[in-house]
C-alpha cells in the first residue's frame, strides 16, 4: 500500500502540524469524529470562559456592567468587530458584531437597494442559501416590486457557478448584487475581487454573504472595494448556536443612513441624549439596530482570541491540506462505490469543506453518525465533510474515510431510510 494511505502517514502529518496545540482548546464530542464544523463549530474552553465572564459581570456590576468589568458591554460589539476585521480584511471601524445573518442582510439591502429609473433589479444566484433569497424577495416586495425583479444566475451542473455568467448578468437594469463568497453546498469560492471590480465598472453596488468563508479563508474586503458583507459566527468561528453575527461596511459608505435605524445605530456619544432625531455612528456601528445580545456575543471573545493566535493564513494552509488528504483518500478507498466529488479541487476555488454526492446520501449520513462520524446531509443527495483546522486531525480524516468505506462495503446504510432527518 502507498504510505500516504496509511494511518502512520496521517499520524506523521499530525506530528508536523503547526496548529496541533489548538485541538486541546476544544470540547471534542466523546469518541466521535466531528466533520460538521461548517454547520456548527465545536465549543472551545475559552468561549465557555468568556460566556461565564459576562454572566459574572451581570452578577457583580448590574447595570454598571455597561461601562465596567473586563469587557464593558457598551463597546463590546465594536471591540469584537475590530477582532473580526482581521479575518475579513477590513479596517477596524468597518466591522461590527451585531444581529443575525438574515437581519443584517435585510439591514444592508434596505440601505443599498435604491431602485431608480431602469435600475430596479437585484442580482443573486440560484445556489445561494435559501434565507438570502427569502430576504431579497421580501425587500423587493417592500419597495413595491415582484419576484421578476430578482435575477438569479443559474448553474450548469447544480453545484458550481460560472463567473462569466454572473458578469454577463450585470446588466443596466441591476441596482444591487448579493452573492455568497463560498457556496454553502459545493464549497466553491467566488472571486470576490474580480466580481466587485466588474460590478463597479457598471456602477452597481455589490455585497457578499461570508457565512461559509469567515474563519476558513482569508479575505481583503477593504482593498477589493466590496461595498458590504455579512456573516454568521457559529460555523468556522465557533461562536455557538445562534451567536451574534457580523457585518462589514466599506468606509466609503460611512455616513450613509441605515435603512433600518434603531437604538444602537446611534453615535456612542449621542445615544443617551435621547433625541428623536438619530445621529448615526460614523462607522459600521450605524448598522446595528437593537441592544446587543450579550450572552450570544460573549463566546466570540474567546473564540476570536484563538484565531488571532493561530492566524488565518495558517488556518487556511492546514484546511487545504486536510481537504486535499480527504479527497485523496475518498478517491483511493471509495473507488467503485458511486461516491462522486462535486466540489472544486483546486486551492483557489475550494473553501473549507468537501462535497460528495451519492444516491443514498441521506441513509449514508445516518450510518456515519451510527459509527460516530458527524457529517452533514444536503438534499437531495449531498454529503458535506468539513475537517476544521483548529480541532480536526489528519488521523480524523483517515478514520472518517475508513468508516465510510466499511459502510459502503458492508452496505450498513441499508438499515436506514433514505430520507433526511428533521435537522440535517
Report how far residue 160's alpha carbon sits from residue 370's, in angstroms, rounded to the nearest whole number.
31
Q: Is 387 annotated as a binding residue?
A: no
Report how far residue 181's alpha carbon sits from residue 195's, in angstroms, rounded to the nearest whole number.
10
- Residues contacting 378, CB < 8 A, separation 6+: 185, 355, 361, 384, 424
Grid cell of 373 as nine digits: 462520524
Q: Is 120 annotated as a binding residue?
A: no
Q: Is 209 annotated as a binding residue?
A: yes
Q: Is 155 annotated as a binding residue?
A: no
Q: Is 129 annotated as a binding residue?
A: yes
Cis check: omega of the bond before 380, within 30 degrees of 0: yes
Give one word for 277, left, alpha or beta, with left for phi > 0 and alpha for psi -120 to 50: beta
Nearest to 113 by CA among 192, 195, 193, 204: 204
Q: Is 291 annotated as a binding residue?
A: yes
Residue-wise burial string across 24-38, b where 16 or more C-beta atoms lie within 10 A, e elsewhere: ebbeeeeeebbbbbb
10 Å CB burial of residue 352 (0-12, 13-18, 19+) is buried
| Residues 384 and 378: beta-carbon distance below 8 Å | yes
Q: Is 132 annotated as a binding residue?
A: yes
Question: Per the annotation, where are the binding residues for pyridoxal 5'-phosphate?
Answer: 101-102, 129-132, 209, 212, 234, 263, 291
Question: Per the annotation, where are the binding residues?
Answer: 101-102, 129-132, 209, 212, 234, 263, 291
Amino acid at each position: 500500500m502507498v504510505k500516504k494511505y496509511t494511518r502512520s502517514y496521517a499520524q506523521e502529518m499530525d506530528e508536523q502540524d503547526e496548529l496541533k496545540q489548538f485541538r486541546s482548546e476544544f470540547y471534542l464530542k466523546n469518541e466521535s469524529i466531528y466533520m460538521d464544523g461548517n454547520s456548527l463549530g465545536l465549543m472551545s474552553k475559552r468561549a465557555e470562559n468568556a460566556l461565564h465572564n459576562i454572566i459574572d459581570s451581570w452578577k457583580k456590576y448590574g447595570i454598571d456592567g455597561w461601562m465596567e468589568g473586563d469587557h464593558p458591554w457598551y463597546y463590546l460589539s465594536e471591540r469584537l468587530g475590530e477582532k473580526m476585521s482581521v479575518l475579513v480584511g477590513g479596517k477596524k471601524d468597518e466591522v461590527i458584531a451585531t444581529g443575525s445573518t438574515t437581519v443584517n442582510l435585510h439591514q444592508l439591502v434596505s440601505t443599498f437597494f435604491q431602485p431608480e429609473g431602469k435600475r430596479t433589479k437585484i442580482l443573486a444566484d440560484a445556489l445561494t442559501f435559501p434565507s438570502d433569497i427569502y430576504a431579497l424577495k421580501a425587500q423587493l416586495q417592500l419597495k413595491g416590486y415582484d419576484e421578476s425583479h430578482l435575477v438569479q444566475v443559474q448553474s450548469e451542473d447544480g453545484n458550481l457557478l460560472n463567473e462569466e455568467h454572473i458578469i454577463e448578468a450585470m446588466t443596466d437594469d441591476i441596482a444591487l448584487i448579493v452573492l455568497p463568497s463560498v457556496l454553502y453546498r459545493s464549497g466553491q469560492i467566488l472571486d470576490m475581487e474580480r466580481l466587485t471590480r466588474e460590478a463597479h465598472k457598471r456602477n452597481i453596488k455589490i455585497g457578499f454573504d461570508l457565512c461559509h468563508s469567515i474563519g476558513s479563508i482569508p479575505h481583503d474586503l477593504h482593498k477589493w472595494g466590496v461595498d458590504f458583507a455579512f456573516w454568521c459566527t457559529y460555523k468556522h468561528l465557533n461562536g455557538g448556536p445562534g451567536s451574534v453575527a457580523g457585518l462589514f461596511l466599506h468606509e466609503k459608505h460611512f455616513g450613509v443612513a441605515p435603512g433600518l435605524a434603531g437604538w444602537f445605530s446611534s453615535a456612542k456619544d449621542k445615544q443617551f441624549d435621547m433625541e428623536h432625531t438619530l445621529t448615526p455612528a460614523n462607522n459600521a456601528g450605524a448598522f446595528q439596530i437593537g441592544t446587543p445580545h450579550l450572552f450570544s456575543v460573549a463566546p466570540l471573545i474567546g473564540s476570536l482570541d484563538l484565531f488571532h493566535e493561530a492566524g488565518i493564513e495558517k488556518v487556511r494552509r492546514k484546511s487545504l491540506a486536510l481537504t486535499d488528504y480527504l479527497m485523496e483518500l475518498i478517491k483511493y478507498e471509495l473507488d467503485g462505490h458511486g461516491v462522486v466529488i462535486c466540489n472544486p479541487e483546486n486551492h483557489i476555488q475550494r473553501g473549507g469543506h468537501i462535497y460528495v454526492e451519492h444516491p443514498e446520501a441521506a441513509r449514508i449520513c445516518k450510518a456515519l453518525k451510527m459509527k460516530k462520524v458527524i457529517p452533514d446531509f444536503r438534499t437531495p443527495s449531498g454529503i458535506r465533510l468539513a475537517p476544521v483546522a483548529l480541532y480536526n486531525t489528519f488521523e480524523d480524516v483517515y478514520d472518517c474515510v475508513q468508516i465510510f468505506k466499511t459502510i459502503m462495503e458492508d452496505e450498513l446504510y441499508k438499515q436506514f431510510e433514505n430520507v433526511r432527518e428533521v435537522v440535517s
